[in-house]
Every structure is written in structure tokens, then in C-alpha cells.
Amino acid sequence: MFKLIDVFWAYILIAVLILVGRFIRQRIGILRSLFIPSSVVAGAIALLLGPTALGAIIQNPESPFANGLFPEAILTVWQQSPSIFINIVFATLFIGQSIPGWGMIWRQASPQAAFGQALGWGQYVIGLILGITVLTPIFNLPPIAAALIEISFEGGHGTAAGMAETFDKLNFDAGSDLSLTLATVGLVSGIIAGTILINWGRRSGRIQIDREPVIELGIDVDSIHTHTPEDANITAKRDKLFRELLIDPITLNFSFVGVAVAFGWLILQTLELIESLTWGRGDGLKLIPYVPLFPIALIGGILVQILLEAVGRSYMVSRPLMERIGGLALDVTIVTALATISLTALGENLAPLLILSVAGIAWNVFVYIFLAPRLIPNYAYERGLGDLGQSMGVTATGILLLRMVDPDNRSGAFECFAYKQLLFEPILGGGLFTAAAPPLIDRYGSMSILLLTSIILVFWLIFGIWNCKQLQKQE
């Protein structure tokens, strides 16, 4: 147990760690060149100074540093933080973003959606094949380990942290540590692979837009999620509102985040009630108790945005501020999740970790090189980089790669990538199927879910190729 003062000091320490991480990142060239976020550096520092690193080195239970530099109460707060703050991250994804007509979304985002879906469902197919042939029979991992590639690569650190409770309920204690480590592997490899592929694309002529690399443009990965422009009329209306209400802008915006999370909780409770009265009665399928709140909080955020637009009050939300709220919550999620990784669990599962990492990277690079031009009708290799980055790290990685290859947005990749999230995030990358996959595998077995995911993958490939040809005919 912990007291409120322990919570206070736990987050004060996170703030200090992020500053230290920022200081170290700016002075170590390889961290800058790989665009590693300061929060990842801060989480790694906390991990090294914690009980499984520094505490393990000391090996003296009577030493004041037997638990590392951090008191047990602080570590307890950190252990519970990722599953809480990830709800805020997902709730902010669509609040403040104008949702255009579905016709426009479909025309611009359908090729991107097919490409992203192929990446995501393929990660399940590859993971399940590895689970059936290697992970379970040789390394004795539970079948749900097959979902780790999609959870970690497509979902990133936030999703990996948010799924910790689900792993615990399904008796896969090492799942959280493995998924967080895989997310770090995905983040680093995504940036490295993306940079290599950009250079390859320019040399081979596959990338049509010739621009200077992002390093020479001075772009900082820690600030890439705070550049959404706003209409001047909306800004003026909001300034007038703040003067009349005498409320701090970030307080008002955080209130809408709270409403979104509350909507998500109500939806989740309703679904659990429906399940208990229908298919989940008695010994029936019980899926909803394993679904964490964060993918439903995303739906809650969409509902908040729709309601604000319906009553003509969308100007009350500042998208840049909403991104900063989500960015702060994501930083806290990453630092606390990495700080509480069990190095012992990683050491015991090093070989499976390497197998999953190599398989995930190989699949993503294969899809980008060979399928992007068959699924995306124009600027395929430019537009495909956003989804490649997202499928190996987080959305911010995808945006970073897009800015590296096309900083002036001459290909229109940014709009397509943004609209695609409406057709993608509710399902994969931390969406409903991401949350449901482990309990589905546990309930119905790997073969059944492999068949399901393979059918869905084939559907998106067939649709994507057909849709790409149709769009090319219209140009």
C-alpha cells in the first residue's frame, strides 16, 4: 500500500528522471541519431537504478540499496501507473480532430488502411505460426505469446503497458516484460529500418520526393506531436470563451478527456453486463473482463468529438493542448513501464524475444518493400513509411519517418495517414482486437485464431490490390 505523499514523490521523481534523460540524450550522439525519446532514456535509467539491476548487483538484503535507489512505495505507484495513464493517451487521440465526411476519408485513407491492416494482421499470423511451431513446444511459452508482436510493435510501449493486467489474468507473468522490451526493439529498429529504406528508396528512384534528411532540418522527436495547426477563427472563439469562463485552457481540455474516459468506462460496463446476460452466461465465452479500458476510452474520445461538433462547440477543445495532455500521459506511461520491467524474466526468455523481434522486423520490411506499391496508388514508398513506423513503434515514429522523407507534405501522406487512424486504431494497434486477442487465443486455441487472422489478412490484401487499381483508373 502507499499514501498520497508517495504518489506525489513518485511523479516528482518521474519529472526529474525525464530531465536527466533529456540531458543524457542531448549529449550522446547515438541516442540523437536514433531519435530515441527522452522518456525511453528516463525509463532505462530508472530500470538500471531499480531493484532488478542495481539491487541485484548489491545482493545484500540489509543494504539500504537492496531495492535500488527507489523506496518500495514509489515502485508500487509506478507499477500501477502505466495501466492508468494509457487511458488518457487513447482518450486524446481523436478529441479536437475534425472528422470529415466518410466519403473523403475513404478515398484518401482506404489504401493506407489496407496497407496498415496487412501489416497488423500479418504480425498476428507470423506470431501464431511461431507460437505453434517454436514458442510453445520448444520454449514452453503459453500460446498467447503469439500476440506479443502486434501488441508491442503495432501498439508500442503504451499498449504493451496497458495489456499488463490482461497478461496477469491469463497467468502469463512474463508477458508484460517481454512486450515492453519488444516495444523498445520495435521503436529503435523502426527508426533504423526507416532511415535505411529512405536512403535505399532515394538511390533506387522508388522515392520520388527528394528532400534533405530530417537531421539537417533540426526536427526533434520529443516535439513531433505538438504541431497540429488550427484555424484562426477557432482560436479566436476559444480565447473569448476562456476570458468569459475564467478557466485555464488545459483544465478545460483535461475535463473533456475525463468525459471521454467516463464514456469508455460506461461502454465497457454495459458490454460486460450484456455479455453476462447472453453469450457469457454460465460457462459461456467471457471476453469483456479481459478487455482493458484504454481501447474503449478511444471510442469515448470519438463520441466526445462527435457530440461537440453536433452542438457547435468543437472550438472549446484545443487540439495542440490535447496532444500535449496525451504526450504527457504517454511519457509517464513509458517511464513507469520501463522502470518496472523484470530483467530476470527477460533473461529467462531471451531466445524467444530474439525470435519474435527478428520475425516482426522481417515481416514489416517485406510488406513495405513488396506490397506498398501494390496497395497504395501513388507515392507508395513515401506514404508507406508512416505505417511502417507506426507498425514498429508508435504513431509518432510514423510521423517522424514521414517528415524525414516528405517534410513539406508534397505527397499528401500526412492527411492520408491521419484519416487512416479512424479506420485502424479502433481495431488494431491498441484497439479492440488487440485487447481481445490474448483471451481469444487462450479460449479457442492458436489454430483457430491463426485461421481467423489469415482470412482477414487475405481479405485486406485482395481488397487493397483491387482498391489500388480502381483508384489508379480514376486518376
- Residue 276 pLDDT grade (very low, low, confident, very high; cuts 50, 70, 90): confident
Question: Taking Cα atoms as reference points, which of 15, 98, 62, 24 lies closest to residue 331?
Answer: 15
CA 452 to the chain's CA centroid? 23
How deeply is 216 buried, as exposed, middle or buried, from its count of CB atoms within 10 A (0-12, 13-18, 19+)? exposed
pLDDT exceeds 90 at position 18: yes
**Banded model confidence at residue 19, pLDDT cuts 50, 70, 90:** very high
Task: State residue 427 phi and psi, 5-degree precision.
Answer: -110, -55
Q: How many residues make up the chain in this entry?
A: 475
* Rounded Cα–Cα distance for residues 411 and 384 (Å): 11
Q: Which of 385, 464, 473 is nearest to 193 (CA)?
A: 385
Q: 3-state SS of 9-66?
A: HHHHHHHHHHHHHHHHHHHCHHHHHCCCCHHHHHHHHHHHCCCCCHHHHHCCCCCCCE
pLDDT band at 230 (very low <50, low <70, confident <90, very high): low
319 vs 106, higher pLDDT: 319
Supply the pLDDT for residue 221. Answer: 47
Q: Identify the pLDDT of residue 429.
A: 77
Confidence of residue 9 (pLDDT cuts 50, 70, 90): very high
Average pLDDT over residues 87-114: 79
Mean pLDDT check: name the lowest of 2-16, 95-109, 132-146: 95-109
Rounded to an integer, the average pLDDT of 223-229 is 47
The answer to whether the Cα torsion of 350, 178, 75, 69 is positive or negative is positive
What is the DSSP code (8-state) at residue 152?
Answer: I
pLDDT score of 89 more than 90: no
Residue 450 has pLDDT above 90, yes or no: yes
C-alpha grid cell for residue 423?
Answer: 479506420
Question: Distance between CA atoms of 376 and 252, rounded to whole angstroms?
Answer: 40
Looking at 2-6, 96-100, 186-190, 272-276, which range is the least confident one? 96-100
CB 86, CB 162: distance < 8 Å: yes
- pLDDT for 75 equals 87
Question: How far apart, in whole angstroms, are the C-alpha atoms of residue 97 and residue 318?
Answer: 9
For residue range 106-138, list pLDDT tens digits in order. Answer: 777 788 889 999 999 999 999 999 999 999 999
> Rounded to the nearest 10 degrees, how much is the dihedral formed by the CA atoms of 364, 324, 333, 89?
-70
pLDDT-derived band at 217 (thresholds 50, 70, 90) equals: very low
Beta bridge partners, 66, equal: 68
**Phi-psi sector, 190: left (phi>0), alpha (psi -120 to 50), beta:** alpha
- What is the grid cell recorded at 232? 484562426
Pick the closest to residue 301 from 329, 247, 248, 265 (CA basis). 265
Q: Give the span between the Cα atoms of 449 and 436, in whole angstroms.
A: 11
Per-residue cell: 222: 520529443
Positive or negative, the Cα torsion across 407, 409, 415, 420? negative
pLDDT-derived band at 262 (thresholds 50, 70, 90) equals very high
- Give yes or no for residue 327 having a pLDDT over 70: yes
